[in-house]
Amino acid sequence: MKRILSGIQPSGQLHIGNYFGMMKTMISNMETSDLYVFIVDLHALTSVHDKERLGQGTLEAAADFLALGLDPDRCTFWVQSDVPEVCELMWVLSTLTPMGLLERCHSYKDKVAKGIAASHGLFSYPVLMAADILLFQSEIVPVGKDQKQHLEVARDIAIKFNNSFGETFVVPEPAISESTAIVPGLDGQKMSKSYGNTIPIFLEGKPLRKKVMSIQTDAIPVEEPKDPEKCNLYALLKLFAPAEQLAEIHELYVNGGAAYGYIKQDLYELVQDYFTDARTKKKELLANQDYLREILHKGANKARGKAVETLDLVRNRVGLTY
């Protein structure tokens, strides 16, 4: 069984880009892989400096995964900061990470351009991510396209370490599903918590409808043909609509007659239905936070066993022994 690992930041409400880009793939891999799923609160500290928000966001992200179908008995599911070995590994890795490798990372530059403080933590974010991946000897890492470069950094670091100190780390492969590589947000840019353009997974009723109605579209008149592949609304619809309904709407785009207001109403209803069961489950989970904490603590113990094993090997390889 392949070891598959991925993490998500608890830096805001999880959205349908997170769901289709990463969570859904992870959950569907539960039966057929050795699955590692975790909530990266140490990474979220690069953008969230608010105790309540970070703590609550972490519990909520855990509830989201479980509500969407993750079974903690069939995977290892934990919170990053509960396995502190990752910080020690990060330090060791950072001593062989070339500055140039990090200077080339788009994500750092994009985040700074969006107003996130240019801290040392934000700059070295990819090294902590490499430590996350290598600590668990992960073979496959499902992520959205925006994380591809970070995966390349993790691979470079693993190869460099193996060349310097002898075969130690598995060199991980990214898994990026083309159809959901980049889910667009309300404004057509990548949907992202830090861009304020998301449709949160667990939004419902009026607030959900309002979000869907605010999706930006072009000003081409209803009766004129439009290219569905260039339309942000259609890209979102594709994720939810059954084949038949999608084919009908596709026809309207191509032949004229696609009224964005009606299509948005369809999308609203589809999203509302798609997550109905998960919404109920999430409410139940959040009403029993001690149960959530217990699951996460158990998961951390499980993860730590593997982490200590790898870290012992690393300490030996580099000479942190006497």
Residues that bind ligand ADP in the complex, under the rule CB under 6 A: 8-9, 11, 17-18, 21-22, 143-144, 146-147, 180, 182-183, 190-194
Query: What letter would DSSP give residue 191?
Result: P
Q: Which of 3, 4, 7, 310 binds ligand TRP (CB under 6 A)?
A: 7
Strand partners, 79: 39
**Which residues are CB-neighbours of 11 under 8 A, at least 6 positions away?**
44, 47, 48, 57, 193, 194
Helices (H), strands (E): how many in the chain? 16, 5
Q: Which does 191 bind (CB under 5 to 8 A by kind): ligand TRP, ligand ADP, none?
A: ligand ADP
Closer residue to ligand ADP (CB): 7 or 72 = 7
User: 101 and 130 in contact (C-beta within 8 Å)?
Assistant: no
Q: Which does 29 bind (CB under 5 to 8 A by kind): ligand ADP, ligand TRP, none?
A: none
Of residues 9 through 38, those in contact with ligand TRP by CB under 6 A are: 9
Minimum CB distance to ligand ADP, residue 256 (Å): 30
What is the contact mask toward ligand TRP in residues 100 to 129, using x (rule: CB under 6 A)? -----------------------------x
Q: Which does 132 bind (CB under 5 to 8 A by kind): ligand TRP, ligand ADP, none?
A: ligand TRP
Sign of CA dihedral 177, 181, 184, 188: negative
Half-sphere exposure for 257 (CA within 13 Å, toward CB):
7
What is the C-alpha to C-alpha distance for residues 318 and 322, in angstroms, rounded to an integer? 11
- Residue tagged active-site, from 111, 211, 238, 264: 111
CA angle 217, 225, 187 (to 5 degrees): 10
Does the active-site annotation cover 148? no
Does the active-site annotation cover 190? yes
Does the active-site annotation cover 302? no
Distance between start and end Cα atoms, the chain: 36
Please report, as ranges, the residues that interact with ligand TRP according to CB under 6 A. 5-9, 40, 43, 129, 132-133, 141, 143, 147, 150
Catalytic residues: 111, 190, 193
